[in-house]
Amino acid sequence: MKLFLFTMPLAFLLTVASAQSPTNSAATNATPRRDSAPIVSPEVHSDRSVTLRLRAPGAKEVKVSGEWPGGSQALTNNEGLWVITLGPLEPDIYGYSFSIDGVTLVDPANPWVKPMRAARTSVLEIPGEPPRLWELQPVQHGTVHHQVYFSKSLGRNRSVHIYTPPGYEKKSEKHPVLYLFHGSGDNDATWSSVGRANCIADNLLAQGKIRPMILVMPDGHALTGNPTQPSTNLISQNVEAFGDDLLQEVMPLVESTYRVKTDRDHRAIIGLSMGGGQSLRIGLQHRELFGWVGGMSSYLPDASRLVPELFPDSKSNLKLLWFACGKDDRLIDNARQLAAALKEKHIPHTFEETAGNHSWPVWRRYLGEFMPMLFTEKQ
């Protein structure tokens, strides 16, 4: 949050902060001001509609943008309290941000903020009946570990989140591993906090649809830089540096600390957006390490050149190559180019064009579809 706040004018911050909090007054017995009442936002109603509120008495225009259908929408001003009711919305977890006269900020009344490099997105949840795959359900739960390590390849401290399945601490067997990458702007906490990868794994296990596995969720930003203005060169350099960190630091850390199987048949790799480009490139380049490779809404702009380089003899020893993208996703052309390049080289793969755009409601569903395909052979 600090990184975000420092980019905003001080006068603007003081105006919003004072408007959201009860006014301190020497006259403690005076009648409370109307704008001192706590703000409730978001308020999720029984019909799955949602009311958002923001107190900004000096604002000329307030809008909200979210991962629900409809794009940016304007709030209504009620004596300085800006209000909008959306929906009803489909059960899901949605990221959203306010814009006050063109300045983007999180919802000050909502403590749930998406883990990111620069905090700019609040989060709300619409529960389903019955509960959806990513919701916390009354089943046995695994554990999400947060581990800090020093990366010799990058020369600094790094962070990784690791999920172990239910009962891991009380058992002795080794497990297969899924390496799971986030997108640009997010960090290693986003897949468990907003993506709910741990809940998806718990619920699939309870349904008997997957084998117990360990999920490794590293920080995909190996290089520092301005994440809002990536150049092709910076992206390529980041993939290379991230690959070095993954292979030289993260994988040895996981394999020396956790009970995991260390052969390629028990390693899978997948990511979304930036992380999808990383998982596809690293996974296809290192088929001796990963037997199961996937990508979601992947940024892989050079597929037509990369595929012939990686498959010169049109042979693949992968157990699964799977990737998917929404038809309204800005990266759909990337996915189609990859599918065409693989088809031309006769490389077995599965490509799914689905409904949806470039958003977390799509990627949670993709993870729920991908995990049951993994480690299916008895070994």
Confidence (pTM):
0.88
Q: Which of 92, 126, 160 is the last residue of a domain?
A: 126
Q: Is residue 248 part of a domain?
A: yes
Cβ neighbours for 337, distance < 8 A, ≥ 6 positions apart: 303, 304
In contact, 176 and 343? CB cutoff 8 Å: no
286 with 256, same domain?
A: yes
Question: pLDDT (tens digit, 0 to 9) for every residue of the chain, 379 residues total?
Answer: 333 333 344 334 334 444 454 433 333 333 344 556 789 999 999 999 999 999 999 999 999 999 999 889 999 999 999 999 999 999 999 999 999 999 999 999 999 999 998 889 999 999 999 999 999 999 999 999 999 999 999 999 999 999 999 999 999 999 999 999 999 989 999 999 999 999 999 999 999 999 999 999 999 999 875 444 455 567 778 889 999 999 999 999 999 999 999 999 999 999 999 999 999 999 999 999 999 999 999 999 888 899 999 999 888 999 999 999 999 999 999 999 999 999 999 999 999 999 999 999 999 999 999 999 999 975 4
Q: Which of 68, 93, 126 is the last residue of a domain?
A: 126
219 with 94, same domain?
A: no
Q: Residue 37: which CATH number?
A: 2.60.40.10
Q: What pLDDT was estimated at residue 301? A: 85
Q: Is residue 332 part of a domain?
A: yes
39 with 171, same domain?
A: no
In contact, 223 and 241? CB cutoff 8 Å: yes
Q: What pLDDT was estimated at residue 70? A: 86
212 with 344, same domain?
A: yes
From residue 347, alpha-carbon distances to 231, 315, 320, 335 in Å are 30, 7, 11, 15
User: What SS3 class is residue 178?
Assistant: strand
Q: What pLDDT was estimated at residue 15? A: 41
Q: Which residue has the tokens 């581990």?
A: 147
Q: Is residue 135 part of a domain?
A: no
346 with 278, same domain?
A: yes
**Of 367, 355, 378, 312, residue with least CA distance to 178:** 367
Environment class of 183 (CB within 10 Å of its CB; exposed 0-12, middle 13-18, buried 19+): buried
Q: Is residue 174 part of a domain?
A: yes
55 with 147, same domain?
A: no
Q: Is residue 79 part of a domain?
A: yes
Radius of gyration of the chain (CA): 23
181 with 46, same domain?
A: no
Number of domains in the chain: 2
90 with 224, same domain?
A: no
State the Cα–Cα distance between residues 359 and 325, nearest whole angstrom: 11
Environment class of 148 (CB within 10 Å of its CB; exposed 0-12, middle 13-18, buried 19+): exposed
251 with 365, same domain?
A: yes
Q: What pLDDT was estimated at residue 233? A: 65
Q: Is residue 133 part of a domain?
A: no
Percent of the chain as helix, strand, coil, to the nearest 5: 30, 25, 45
State the Cα–Cα distance between residues 188 and 296, nearest whole angstrom: 17
198 with 121, same domain?
A: no
182 with 116, same domain?
A: no
Q: Is residue 147 part of a domain?
A: yes
Q: What pLDDT was estimated at residue 232? A: 55
106 with 157, same domain?
A: no
Q: Is residue 151 part of a domain?
A: yes
Q: Which residue has the tokens 């052309």?
A: 333
Q: What pLDDT was estimated at residue 36? A: 65
Q: Residue 260: which CATH number?
A: 3.40.50.1820
State the Cα–Cα distance between residues 255 and 171, nearest whole angstrom: 17
Q: Which of 76, 92, 126 is the last residue of a domain?
A: 126
In contact, 1 and 113? CB cutoff 8 Å: yes
- Helices 274-285 and 232-245: crossing angle in degrees, nearest 10, is 60
In contact, 215 and 163? CB cutoff 8 Å: yes
Structural domain harbouring 158:
143-373
